[in-house]
Amino acid sequence: MEAGSWAPRRWPRPPGIVLLALASVLSSLLSSGQARVYSRCELARVLQDFGLEGYRGYSLADWICLAYFASGFNTGAVDHEADGSTNSGIFQINSRKWCKNLNPNVPNLCQMYCSDLLNPNLKDTVICAMKITQEPQGLGSWEAWRHHCQGKDLSDWVDGCEL
């Protein structure tokens, strides 16, 4: 073997994997620049202003509990699922059905990009969450709500907040 003739072996990478990795890095960079972590009472006031108190029979405490267990009140939270989909924003809304990510073949029922769900003003997130809640499962669409909030006394989630 001649000196200098050795080169590392290149492994072929499917273009989709490279694009997914690049999009993941970019979404992390973009979301970290605009992300906001709300306090419990601050989020309660914002969600009340958007009309979520009593929406479809759910209390403001239900929404606050969901946001805490889904994202820790972090608008920039992004979680990547094994199937390639992502959960985005304070309510961790999934790209499989609700928002547009890289996959053009998803329903995108909220008619928005998943990156829109990372905006700290929460308008798009609340609009999409309200649409999801119109489904027969309501807030039960979220595993975090089913496991941590459903059927529990949630009054502590808004206790002490000036609403």
Residue 134 maps to which CATH number? 1.10.530.10
In a domain, 72, yes or no: yes
Quick one: what percent of the chain has pLDDT higher than 90? Answer: 75
In a domain, 114, yes or no: yes
- Region 28-49: mean pLDDT is 83
Residue 51: CB atoms within 10 A of its CB come to 10
In a domain, 132, yes or no: yes
In a domain, 52, yes or no: yes
In a domain, 104, yes or no: yes
Rounded to whole angstroms, the Cα distance separating 151 from 139 reads 12
In a domain, 34, yes or no: no
Cα 33 to Cα 27, 57, 90, 118: the distances in Å are 10, 35, 15, 10
Is the pLDDT reported for residue 136 higher than 80?
yes
Cβ 122 vs Cβ 113: under 8 Å: no
In a domain, 82, yes or no: yes
* pLDDT tens-place string over residues 1-36: 455 555 555 555 555 554 444 444 444 444 445 899
Rounded to the nearest integer, the mean pLDDT of the chain is 87
Q: pLDDT band for position 50 (50/70/90)? A: very high
- Higher-confidence position of 121 and 10: 121
Cβ 94 vs Cβ 86: under 8 Å: yes
In a domain, 31, yes or no: no
SS3 88: strand
Cα 40 to Cα 111, 132, 136, 154, 157: the distances in Å are 28, 22, 28, 13, 7
Is the pLDDT reported for residue 92 higher than 70?
yes
Domain total in the chain: 1
Least confident of 6-15, 38-47, 114-123: 6-15
Q: Phi, psi (5° rounding) for residue 12?
A: -65, 140
- Model pLDDT, residue 32: 46
- Name the pTM for this structure: 0.80
- Region 131-150: mean pLDDT is 98
Q: Which domain covers residue 103, as residue numbers?
A: 40-152
